[in-house]
Structure 1
């Protein structure tokens, strides 16, 4: 196969946006498409090699797998081995347990399945996974297992038949991707069925160029480069992916491969020595960058600075150059390879995979070795959202609302019926709030739904089909009317939903994850979000007595984890932690204004002023934890102690309502 330096340059175009995206550089919010560029290049190169071997009658599946092992495994083993000591030194027990699971998954070429089951690629916590990026390697490895055998078997049918069958597979795969982002977005992102078409797109280039190269065309090749650039700079975590949108960078790569031959300006640009140099080390750079960024975030007490992340991006290239020269190259096939025989390559590969899997199993079985931390730090870390009682949490895993007797808490001779409704904040506080309301003589029905704004006919702009928020709210409000509920208590992260943004406390506590924008399903004209909030609340006030719980102050950082890290890394025994009150005021101001406007208009609306339980106007701080209690389970959910703080305000607000 003729060497094309511009293809190595194209690898640089793929890897640099990925690195800058994971570094958190806002300009490169679509940098994740670099992985798709890699997929197309891989499909092109692998198919070119296979076609040549099959045509010349020298195809050997063992030779193919030997070549892949030499190419992929040495650098992977080296980088993974380097991450293990830092994981032991710096990771919290739960993080090390999850990391250990990822080691096993990497050794089985199935990390895409693991990360699909754990979370989404853009979700909070994903950037703390040192081996998250191996999901794409797993897809390529799964492709390598099936595709060579399939291509060899189909070749007997003739070249045209092979192309048509692969085209059919590609069309089905693209159709699955388009269906998948609407119905199962996490599975669609991580699993091979919605990605195979990208690799096959590269395969079609190999077929097109096998007999003779196409004439170079600068305009077409430049359009390809432009298409990739548009995707990198205009796509973001709200772009459905993979989907028809993915055609933009994929077609861009195809145009460059097909028409960016030597002699074109695009080839001249991509063949420049610095760009080709980055392309040559791109695989190692891809392996190095995510562990560097993840461990920087794990070790830092707050969000690492942009300067540090850029420095680590440069370091990833330096380490990549080292591992390319001293790890990748010595194992490549050739007269100077460190391993001459195929059996030694396979034996060493198996030993390496078994060792990685063994350490992963050891870490998982031992729960991330919690005894590395002091008893005090372990006690703090025991605070976690897993402690939330999900009995009445009708989230996307349950989908439809079905009344549960266990969610109705009654007392003798009750003086009123209350529905406590909201998102996961209600799931966190309901035991304390319900106990307090029962003690005041109210029966209580509890209903919560994760990530759901508890207003009629509303949904997330960026949601999976399983997130049936509007259906849940409509069903539970209908049920409330049927069982005689007279008072509705609403508690939720209204600022996050209506601003759409995650929380940044301005002190290094930055919440990561996809945007949380919501919209009105029935609106023909898009009203301002806070006018919409007011309108929805006014409608609810006509149906129920209404208590509006002020937004619980968000922390921005995971409170128990940050305190435990301070104890472990800094030797601090002070568990107090707080955020700036003015940040809370600014973020919640339009929500509180809407609440007050509804209260002023209706006699049967009250506001529960719970923020004063956390925030002190005199000091200008909102407590996340104090010497006595940790008030949060993570970055926004109250702990039992936090829930106990706000329960009296809710009871008082309910008690002050007029009879209905």
Structure 2
């Protein structure tokens, strides 16, 4: 095909939007739609190539097509994966969660299944965040690869069996894909985001432009289409995040804008200052290296973020992007270009590409197995990753679950024995399960779990979602009917509610909602309300493995100061409800100096804020030995040092 520099300019806009969004999200809140620009461009270019081949030969050489795709995509991908794994297994080797995630993601990417992997491993309440996934951006590459597997066959079928109206049939398929995306985004948002069928319409939009006639002379509409399309793309880059669930209909502006710009280019309407900007040297240069820049920028940003206990500043993030740009140029010059030169037989190119993927997979797996941790550190770190409550899974509700009934009797600490102890709250109540079960066992009783992620125990909380409100209604109804001896209540008392400055009203709202619920539980002999805990800046297993115990933890005085407001509210709560006892675990989790990730020979947390099962059980024993030490009386309220 004739090289159209304006398309390189569109690539430059797309990759710049993505990089800016990842480096400084506030500067371009919708910059993630740069990926959607790439989808439309890919659909256009692939369709144009295949249609020209069909018109010239009456057939499509699938072997040659896939060989071109392999030569275009695989060399730079394989090079990036291996080099990043070398960096992670070498200087970052003790950051095991990062290395393990990178290796797993890389293997899925080499099998063209990265999007399935990320759909399954993101979006869950306890799943690692994006900042711990160096290969997360490869989901979009997997979507394109899966599109390439089915689209040529589909296009051949349209050209052969509907030669008079292939665009109409493709438009119908695109509409079906858009409707599917809109349906999924409201019931299964991860599937809508990651799966190719929900993105097919975006690639097909580019294909529809390629199937449209190229006018001999560009009309007025075509000349207006380029600036109008780019304006729509820019608006999407700035506003898409505020337009509701994505993709689906909220992706329509960026897809429409890119399609309009492509239509103008397709019809030769490339005059004016906008076209001049797109085909300018810097834009074309950035467009040429856009694929490699997309591959490199995100792993470097993740590495910079993970290299220190404190969050990376904007300066470091921009430096990482600059390094990615240098590596992108080197990748384009010494990896992409040599492999794109003609002369290699298609079958041989395909075989070489598959062999490169296999060898890269072997290299990635081998690098992931390098062990750089001292034995004693590994023992504690590995134990922390697995130190989870026994009810996690079948006996605890996730935010993805549809709550229709409470967990069955088999989830009680003593199935078959009517429970007189219960545990109620969010995921932090879940973390206290060993403590609650220990209390029940000491009382020769059975305990029942009532826990749902991100759902505070309350009644009538204004911002509680439907599932949380339904769950709390079921929990309160059950609790009101049981002859309970002891109820353990826990939730995360967010640090944002107790930092310096004016007290946010949400803290009062949450305590008031809890108080309203407690008013229905006067028949319970004893209600233990677990007080606020310290947290860490990084997950405890990583803090231990990296030797960042001090850097990850807060000082004990800082923790006490941060939670002073929350304790004042809880003191008032205990005054209103005589059967409430406040439990303050601070002395167990903090020494005089710090609140570390590990004490007593084991990790105190399994991540950055949920206490480990060992810590929960250890506290139960400490509490039983000296309950007065950990029981806070309202009259003992700490002075309000923050207002002084």
* Superposed pair shares fold, TM > 0.5: yes
Deviates most, 174-183 or 33-42: 174-183
| Counterpart mapping for 1:199-278 below 5 A | 199-210=203-214, 212=216, 214-215=218-219, 220-236=225-241, 239-259=244-264, 261-278=269-286
**Higher mean Cα deviation, 593-602 or 111-120?**
593-602
Assess, with a 3 A threshold, how the Cα gap between structure 1 residues 402 and 160 changes in structure 2: closer, same or farther: farther
**1:26 alignment counterpart:** 26
Q: What secondary structure does 1:304 align onto? A: coil
Q: CA deviation at 1:13?
A: 0.9
SS in 2 for 1:277: helix
Corresponding residue for residue 352 of structure 2: 348
Cross-structure match for 2:137: 133
TM-aligned CA distance change 1:154 to 1:389, over 3 Å: same
* Pair 1:279 & 2:287 matched: yes
SS at match of 1:452: coil
Quote the Cα distance in structure 1 between the aligned partners of 2:56 and 2:121: 45
Larger deviation, residues 67-76 vs 298-307:
298-307
Alignment check: 8 A CA contact 2:535 2:553 kept: no
Name the CA distance, whole Å, in 2 between partners of 1:54 and 1:458: 62
Are 2:550 and 2:596, in contact at CA under 8 Å, matched by a contact in 1? no
Task: Give the 3-state SS of the residue equivalent to 1:634 in structure 2.
Answer: coil
CA distance in 2, matches of 1:344, 1:459: 63
Match of 1:156 in 2: 160
Partner of 2:595, secondary structure, is strand
Deviations 1:588-644 (A, max 9, x none): 56644543443344434443233454356x75x433334744321110011245324
Following the alignment from structure 2 to structure 1, what is the Cα–Cα distance between the partners of residues 294 and 195?
19
* Cα RMSD after superposing both structures: 3.6
- Equivalent in the alignment of 2:65: 64
* More moved, 300-309 vs 190-199: 300-309
Is 1:622 matched with 2:606?
Answer: no
Deviations 1:185-240 (CA, angstroms, capped at 9, x unpaired):
22221111111111111112212354557536665533433332333233449952
**Cα gap change, 1:532 to 1:301, in 2 (>3 Å):** closer
Whole-Å separation in 1 of the counterparts to 2:153 and 2:204: 15
| TM-score calculated relative to the size of structure 1 | 0.83
Question: C-alpha distance in 1, partners of 2:65/2:337?
Answer: 18
Q: Could you report, residue by residue, the CA deviation over 1:270-309 in whole angstroms, capped at 9, with x for unpaired residues?
A: 2221111101110010111122222333443443332121
Deviation of 1:128 after TM superposition, in Å, equals 2.4
Note if contact 1:453-1:492 (Cα within 8 Å) is conserved in structure 2: yes
- 1:351 & 1:504 partners in 2: Cα distance? 56
Residue by residue over 1:402-451, the C-alpha shift from the partner in whole angstroms, topping out at 9 and shown as x without a partner, is 4433443479x99x933211222222221123313543576532222223
Residue 643 of structure 1 corresponds to which residue in structure 2?
616
Alpha-carbon separation, structure 2, partners of 1:654 and 1:579: 23
User: Using the alignment, how far apart are the partners of 1:76 and 1:484 within structure 2?
Assistant: 62
- Note if contact 2:396-2:451 (Cα within 8 Å) is conserved in structure 1: yes
Correspondence for 1:595: 570
8 Å CA contact 1:541, 1:604 repeated in 2: no
- My pick for the range that moved more, 202-211 or 32-41, is 202-211
Q: The residue matched to 1:56 in structure 2 has which SS?
A: helix
Alignment length (residue pairs): 611
Partner of 2:106: 103
* Mapped partners of 2:475, 2:354: distance in 1: 55
Q: Counterpart in 1 of 2:533?
A: 552
Of 349-358 and 274-283, more deviation after overlay is shown by 349-358
Q: Could you report, residue by residue, the CA deviation over 1:468-490 in whole angstroms, capped at 9, with x for unpaired residues?
A: 33333222222222333365432
Q: Deviations over 1:444-472 (max 9, x none)?
A: 322222232233466978x8xxx933333
Deviation, 1:256, is 1.9
CA distance in 1, matches of 2:552, 2:284: 49
Does the alignment pair 1:541 with 2:518? yes
The aligned residue for residue 451 of structure 2 is 448
SS in 2 for 1:254: helix
- Residues 311-320 or 594-603, more deviating: 594-603
1-structure distance, mates of 2:512, 2:207: 55
Aligned-residue offset at 1:325? 1.4
Give the aligned partner of residue 6 of structure 1.
Answer: 6
Which segment is superposed worse, 34-43 or 209-218? 209-218
Judging changes above 3 Å, is the alpha-carbon distance between structure 1 residues 43 and 591 closer, same or farther for their aligned structure 2 residues?
A: farther
**Structure 2 matches for 1:389-468, cutoff 5 A?**
389-391=389-391, 392-396=395-399, 399-400=402-403, 401-409=405-413, 417-439=420-442, 444-456=447-459, 468=467
Distance 1:428 1:67, change over 3 A: same
Cα shift readout 1:159-180 (whole Å, capped 9, x = no counterpart): 5532222222212211221121
Conserved? CA contact 1:487–1:547, under 8 Å = yes
* Corresponding residue for residue 520 of structure 1: none
Contact between 1:284 and 1:320, CA under 8 Å: does it hold in 2? yes
CA contact (8 A) 1:301 1:566 kept: no
* Residue 328 of structure 1, CA deviation: 1.1
Provide the rounded CA distance (Å) in 1 between the counterparts of 2:277 and 2:308.
39
Shift of 1:148: 1.0
SS class of match (1:447): strand
In the TM superposition, residue 581 of structure 1 has moved relative to its aligned partner by 5.3
Match of 1:40 in 2: 40
- Quickly say closer, same or farther: Cα 1:609–1:147, change in 2 above 3 A: same
Question: Contact 2:225 / 2:263 at 8 angstroms: preserved in 1?
Answer: no
Match of 1:634 among 604, 607, 617: 607
Secondary structure of 1:445 counterpart:
strand
Note the C-alpha offset of 1:575: 7.3
How much has 1:40 moved relative to structure 2? 0.9
Change (3 A) 1:24 1:121: farther
Match of 1:513 in 2: none
Task: Give the counterpart of 1:610 among 585, 588, 597.
Answer: 585
Alignment-derived partner of residue 50 in structure 1: 50
- Asked whether the 8 Å contact 2:381–2:603 carries over to 1, the reply is no
8 A contact 1:632–1:638 mirrored in 2: yes
Q: In the superposition, relative to structure 1, how do residues 390 and 544 fare at CA in structure 2: closer, same or farther (>3 Å)? A: same
Aligned mates of 2:63, 2:499 — CA distance in 1: 52
Whole-Å separation in 2 of the counterparts to 1:150 and 1:494: 54
Q: 1:121–1:319: structure 2 CA closer, same or farther, 3 Å change rule?
A: farther
Q: How far apart, CA to CA, are the structure 2 residues paired with 1:320 and 1:203?
A: 28
Moved more, 251-260 or 581-590: 581-590
For the residues of structure 2 that align with 1:378 and 1:120, how far apart are their CA atoms? 28
